[in-house]
């Protein structure tokens, strides 16, 4: 097992003034045996970062160490890592057994040991009866397991997953997610997992790295990221439906949004322009006239167990999540919104950083 250290990691394509920088100095320390998920929208550089750890992309600046050893100039095969690709990248002409054994054969592992390691991996992944099949004779989920088996048999220090679940259907994805969790608990190998899916990130991660535009916005446990998002980006990206982010001006215990003054349960951290964050699930509605923000209902969405109520203050739209069992307000009604004081997030509109 090994830790991974990213220090000021930079990636740019091209050189000179025309260089296109896609990773802007990422720093992170991933502990031995930890399961870390890198999450972000497409094009945020999360896959590039993973591929730099794997050694498939050159590192333009900074250092990456695996197990205390700087690997900037080390070949992928010598970094003691294994990678699971999005489309599995199985060798189409080789049987499942040969796919898993190929890396070991090249490493000149004795045949008996190859046999034993592949058998063990096949047992863990329930692939035993498919060992002689070709990848094209397998279903998507089985191929995915072969790809994981290929990683397991190498007994690496680090597992790298590049969106391994995105080609599976929803049901299989949930199932495989659990399998990966189980596998990690069993093997305890340091893992880096890239995904754009926040549910995958929240459920799998011991800690998660949220990336945007080649920058690391936040690193922390799923609870930290959810309860104390470091930036407005993280606040809007994690959580579904996304957090309400409302630009306004705070004046004492009032927050002025689009000409309307909303009373605050407590004082804002400072006066002046601020962004207020409030998760739809942390607000509740009651009849107009109750203390709270008087808003007009614009739209309703029924999601089964819950209902989304969209209400407006001037031109600003709030989303509120209410239990579906409650009698919903009607479109056009005025309702009163209450927010718990400890569930308000404050961000600086200039830097988008969290204030409180």
Partner 1 sequence: MVERRATLGILAHAVMVLGMLIVAFPLYLAFVASTHTAQEIVQAPMPLLPGSHFWDNYVAALTGHGGGAGSNAPVGRMMWVSLVTALVIAFGKIAVSLLSAFALVYFRFPFRGFFFWAIFVTLMLPVEVRILPTYKVVSDLGLLNSYAGLTIPLIASATATFLFRQFFLTVPEELVEAARIDGAGPMRFFWDILLPLSKTSMAALFVIQFIYGWNQYLWPLLATTSEDMYPVVVGIKRMIAGGDSGNEWNIVMATAIMAMLPPAIVVIFMQRWFVKGLVDTEK
State the residues that interact with partner 1 by CB under 8 A: 54-56, 75-78, 81-83, 85-93, 102-103, 106-107, 136, 150
Q: Least separation, in Å, of the C-beta of 77 and partner 1?
A: 3
Nearer to partner 1, 148 or 230 (CB): 148
With respect to partner 1, which residue has the nearer C-beta, 74 or 312? 74
The first and second tokens of residue 62, run together, are 């900074």
CB of 4 to partner 1, least distance (A): 16
Min. distance of Cβ 227 from partner 1 in angstroms? 37
d(CA 173, CA 305): 22
Return d(Cα 246, Cα 258) in angstroms, integer: 10
Task: Measure Cα distances from 28 to 23, 33, 36, 139, 174 in Å.
Answer: 13, 15, 10, 37, 28
Q: Nearest approach, Cβ of 26 to partner 1 (angstroms)?
A: 21
Question: DSSP 3-state assignment of 281?
Answer: helix
Q: Rank residues 21 and 87 by Cβ distance to partner 1 and give the closer one.
A: 87
- How many other β-carbons are positioned within 10 Å of the β-carbon of residue 306? 17
**Least distance to partner 1, CB of residue 318, Å:** 44
| Contact in structure between 4 and 54 (CB atoms under 8 Å) | no
Report the residue number, 56 or 317, with the smaller CB distance to partner 1.
Answer: 56
CB of 190 to partner 1, least distance (A): 16
Tokens 């215990």 sit at which residue? 253
Q: Is 237 within 8 Å of 213 (Cβ atoms)?
A: no
Nearer to partner 1, 75 or 342 (CB): 75
Which one, 131 or 313, has the nearer CB to partner 1? 131
Closer to partner 1 at the Cβ: 54 or 225? 54
Measured CA to CA in angstroms, residue 318 lies from 100, 298, 335 at distances of 52, 10, 12
Q: Are strands 207-212 and 215-220 parallel, antiparallel or unpaired?
A: antiparallel
Tokens of 123: 């047992």
Shortest spacing between CB 194 and partner 1, in angstroms: 14
Asked if 278 contacts 288 with a C-beta cutoff of 8 angstroms, the reply is: no
């Amino acid at each position: 097992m090994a830790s991974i250290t990213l220090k000021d990691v930079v990636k740019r394509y091209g050189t000179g003034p025309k260089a296109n920088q896609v990773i802007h100095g990422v720093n992170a320390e991933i502990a031995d045996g930890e399961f870390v998920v890198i999450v972000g929208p497409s094009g945020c550089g999360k896959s590039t970062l993973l591929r730099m750890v794997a050694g498939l992309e050159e590192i333009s600046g900074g250092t990456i160490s695996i197990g205390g050893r700087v690997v900037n100039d080390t070949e992928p095969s010598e970094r003691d890592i294994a990678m699971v690709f999005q489309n599995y990248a199985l060798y189409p002409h080789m049987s499942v057994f040969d796919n898993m054994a190929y890396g070991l054969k090249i490493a000149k592992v004795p045949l008996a040991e190859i046999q034993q390691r592949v058998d063990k991996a096949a047992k863990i992944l329930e692939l035993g009866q498919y060992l002689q099949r070709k990848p094209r004779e397998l279903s998507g989920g089985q191929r995915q397991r072969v790809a994981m088996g290929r990683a397991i048999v190498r007994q690496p220090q680090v597992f790298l997953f590049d969106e391994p679940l995105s080609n599976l259907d929803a049901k299989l994805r949930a199932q495989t997610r659990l399998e990966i969790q189980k596998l990690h608990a069993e093997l305890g190998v340091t893992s880096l997992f890239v995904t754009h899916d926040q549910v995958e990130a929240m459920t799998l991660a011991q800690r998660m790295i949220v990336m945007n535009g080649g920058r690391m916005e936040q690193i922390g446990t799923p609870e930290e990221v959810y309860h104390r998002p470091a930036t407005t980006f993280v606040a809007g990206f994690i959580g579904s439906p996304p957090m309400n982010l409302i630009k306004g001006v705070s004046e004492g215990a009032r927050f002025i949004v689009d000409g309307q003054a909303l009373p605050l349960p407590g004082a804002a951290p400072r006066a002046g322009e601020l962004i207020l964050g409030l998760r739809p699930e942390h607000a509740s509605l009651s009849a107009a006239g109750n203390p709270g923000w008087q808003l007009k209902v614009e739209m309703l969405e029924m999601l089964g167990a819950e209902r989304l109520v969209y209400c407006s203050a001037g031109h600003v739209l709030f989303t509120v999540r209410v239990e579906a069992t409650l009698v919903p307000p009607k479109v056009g009604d005025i309702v009163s919104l209450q927010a718990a004081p400890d569930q308000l997030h404050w961000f600086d509109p200039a830097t988008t950083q969290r204030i409180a």
